[in-house]
Chain A
Amino acid sequence: MTDYRTNNDGGGTASAVPAGSAGEANSLLNIEGLNVSFATPRGTVDVVKDVSLALAPGKALALVGESGSGKTVTARTLVGLNAANAKVNAGRLEVLGRNALKLGERQWRGLRGKDIGYVLQDALVSLDPLRTVGQEIDEALRAHGVRGKAARLERVHQALLDAGIPDPEVRAKQRSGELSGGLRQRALIAQATVLNPQLVIADEPTTALDATVQAQILELLAGLKEQGRGLVFISHDLAVVSHLADEVAVMQGGRIVESGRAAEVLSNPRHEYTRALINAIPTGAAKGRRLSAGAPVSAASLSGSPGRATEFSETAPAIVARDLVKSYPGPGGTRRTVVDGVSFTLERGRTLGIVGESGSGKSTTARIALGLTQPDAGSVTLGGFAWSGTGADQVSEEQRRRHRPDIQLVNQDPLSSFDPRFSVGRVITDALEAGSIGTSGDRTERAVTLLDQVGLPPSLFNRRPLTLSGGQRQRVAIARALALQPRVLLLDEPVSALDVSIQAQVLDLLADLQSQLGLSYLFISHDLGVIHHVSDDVLVMKDGKVVETGTAADIFTNPQTDYTRQLLAAVPELPAREPAAHVAAAPGLTVKEAS
């Protein structure tokens, strides 16, 4: 380490990050050899190791890596908000020119909100759900001694306006739960930036947002940068990083394994881990290519499961949906049409991707396809037999029940679909039992085989789902879906909660299973990259209607409607997949026209 305590930063400071501004007087961050460890009952855990960062005003630094790589802990160290059992030491830890190692809680409080804004990921939980967003923003003003109720209210409205919220008087009185995802995220940014902090730290600011909303939020963050503020943000989405960041630091296991100018790191990655992260991004260009380094599931492990008797046709399409309509009662006696004349055909052994923003009717369509929601009009056939309909064609649940094994569901959040008291093995044997598959004696064996199919070792059999990683849980959910030997899998945002590298493994697994078992997939996602990668055919939905449908190649290369074009334009892409100069020259967003 360099000398522990010195104010002499006029001397040439060697920074691991070639920010070029490390030694300048107005440097926002100047960090060398940062270590953070946590004292736990089982001993000390080192989470951040020897991290060096620098940031100048008007620049954006991205921390990239998968969960557990130490990004969040690093970011929280910059606002002094790590857990009580955290131990921080560093050769140099200068935040806004102050030695952060010597800052007391009271001094930190003076900086937080005023000089450093901190934006968390999901505004629904990052803003107090019981209070209005106006109260939340006002709280920052009061905490820093801004006097005068009327003056504060004006600043609250101005902050909301600055964050791109058009009618601040109305919105200030609403709670985060009453706002749309985009407005909510803007309000979250407003509460962190109302006092014009020089440094803004954002932890996964666009994850879980629809593509167009994500583009708008990126634009807003880019605007902060243009105002001369420094921006540190965490993301696992390298495409997002390429649009916003000037510098990138790739973290793995608590260390920075690669850092440098964003365009350079992303288009010419030197470290193996950075390359793996870039390869893991699902795009059309990566279609059919494996995203992860893992070996494919062996065909051998799939043999030996005797076929279940089924009437599923070998000639008819897997699903044919015709003119589905579903409406729900809205406020004041009105009816909200959630699904409005949706038709689609899922061919056997193929993947139909359904893409659309929240509220587009994707999930309701999925529930109708699953036979869980009765449509108001229209019909569904599954493997050639009547599955759902209205009037004379109505299918009773009793008639459906014997066909239920043919279509199975995999959710976004598998954990909440597992009984927390069940072991992994029990989750799967339970499904086997429900489908009367096998005898009570050989179900354990079958469950182990199913675990093997999804690439999980038998040693997980007795573990609780809670103790598994997100990727392992999703594999268990897939194994459970496969237990009934289905012909169709309905995959509802199956990888949306996963890191890009884990997502890559799960997408590869799904591709293997499809080719070896001849499964048909109905794949729902808000992520166009994922949809492009997995789909043969694509259905674009908006406000309950099908906007456009066609083969994936047609939709993505030759979109026919404005809405699809707008969706596609909103997807940030990696410069590495295009001539590098294209984005590097324009750090502002190419998506501005979209919104």
Chain B
Amino acid sequence: MSTATQTARTSHTEIPRTTATAGSTGQVILKRAAGSLFVLWAAVTLTFFVLRLVPGDPVTTILGGHSAAPSAETVAAVEAQYGLDQPVLLQYVNYLAGLATGNFGTSYVFKVPVLDILGPQILPTFQLAGLALVFAWAIALAFTLLTVGRGRVLDGVGRGIEVFFAALPPFWVGIMLAVVFAVILGWFPVAGDDGFKSLVLPALALGIPLAGFIAQVTRSSFEEALAQPFVLSARARGLSDLAVRVGHALRHAILPGLTLSAWAVGSLVSSAVVAEIIFARPGLGRSLVDAIINRDLPITLAVVFIIATVYILVNLVVDVLYRVIDPRTNDKGAGA
């Protein structure tokens, strides 16, 4: 028993394990900005050409599907209107030039500018993803603070529930939540977009499985932190158990969860479609699915662009938060 603390001595002394970029804040922002532009360009380029490879003709889509049977003149006119008669490379350059001026093109299906369609969808999806993340962290932290290192029974229960949560598919959680809290209990609306109340169930549907993931990584780093000598030092200063957990161990424990969140937010935006469909909410996810099914390339490209932007911005925020929580990140590379 007395040697247990001695074996686990090194891990927190070394340079923190982090995905955060090294360097001073200014350098980081420059590096990140350059990297972000590259990522956006790569995402758009890849999507642009992959979608061109998919069999089928955009003109058919524009003219309302195969049943339309348009004349050759109509096809030529449409091709000219949408620039589809130009070589693919030129279309690509034109598209990039449009993006640079904020022009995402015109929807093939709705025949209106893409932003007119997507604009109203962006906010609901961000609200949904944001609240889902808040729920996920609240649940994960509650589990960590209440069950880690609180005896074998509580620890086991906490661990078990986390695995269960992480294994839940969001669509099933969504349906169950809708049945129990909307249909049977009537606490929340079954569907629609009607303020905060209608946001709770879909956010939970996405947040609960994510909470399982975050809690799992938080739990193990929390356990590790609790075994560190500095926690013993804090207790020896007369701190209460809760103060040690919140004031010391938690700060160490949320770092890996934070890294995970950067991935989670981006994936929440794209996986929001499940909750949006079950709860009949507007959102980017729905628009993306509809656009893919209808082969509406400009909308598909725009959604990919938005999701890529979200990924980049969230990673930037996480990078900054990481530095605030773990100031050692800034020191990296200072020693020989």
Contact = CB atoms under 8 A, between A and B. Distances in A.
B325 A79 contact: no
Given A72-B2, A178-B331, A128 B236 contact: no
Interface string A73-117: 100000101011010000000000000000001000111111011
B52 interface: no
B96 to A, nearest CB: 39
21 contacts: A38-B1, A45-B1, A73-B2, A84-B151, A110-B238, A112-B237, A116-B236, A118-B232, A125-B229, A126-B229, A128-B230, A128-B234, A128-B251, A129-B230, A130-B251, A130-B326, A136-B234, A139-B239, A139-B247, A178-B331, A338-B336
B230 A127 contact: yes
A163 to B, nearest CB: 15
Contact of B9 (A68, A122, A331): A122
A136 B238 CA distance: 12
The 4 closest A-B pairs by CB, nearest first: A118-B236, A113-B238, A113-B237, A140-B237
For chain B, the bracket of interface size reads 35 or more
Nearest to B336: A328
**What bracket does the count of chain A residues touching chain B fall in?**
35 or more
B328 A129 contact: yes
Contacts of B9: 122, 125
B252 interface: yes
B232 A139 contact: no
A433 to B, nearest CB: 29
A109 B331 contact: no
A143 B252 CA distance: 21
Nearest to B325: A130
A109 B240 contact: yes
B234 A130 contact: no
Interface in B210-267: 228-230, 232-241, 243, 247-248, 251-252
B145 to A, nearest CB: 17
B35 interface: no
A125 B12 contact: yes
Contacts of B153: none
A254 to B, nearest CB: 10
Interface in B67-110: none
B69 to A, nearest CB: 66
Interface in A33-89: 38, 40, 45, 47, 67-68, 70-73, 79, 81, 83-84, 86
B235 A81 contact: yes
Contacts of B1: 38, 40, 45, 47, 73, 83, 86
A40 B2 CA distance: 13
Contacts of A126: 229-230, 232-233
A164 interface: no
A85 to B, nearest CB: 8
Contact of A143 (B4, B151, B237, B331): B237
B228 A177 contact: no
Interface string B292-335: 00000000000000000000000000000000011110010010
Interface of B: 1-6, 9-10, 12-13, 151, 228-230, 232-241, 243, 247-248, 251-252, 325-328, 331, 334, 336
Contact of B237 (A67, A121, A139): A139
A113 B233 CA distance: 9
A177 B2 contact: no
A175 interface: yes
Among B6, B10, B12, B234, the most chain A Cβ lie within 10 Å of the Cβ of: B234
Given A128-B230, A178-B331, A192 B2 contact: no
Contacts of B238: 109-114, 140, 143-144
Contacts of B10: 125, 413, 416
B232 A81 contact: yes
Nearest to A67: B3
B256 to A, nearest CB: 14
A72 B9 CA distance: 15
A534 to B, nearest CB: 25
B233 A127 contact: yes
A38 B5 CA distance: 15
B78 to A, nearest CB: 61
Contacts of B2: 47, 67-68, 70-73
A68 B230 contact: no
A130 B327 contact: yes
A336 interface: yes
A165 interface: no
A503 B24 CA distance: 44
Nearest to A112: B238
A110 B239 CA distance: 9
Interface in A455-511: none
A139 B240 contact: no
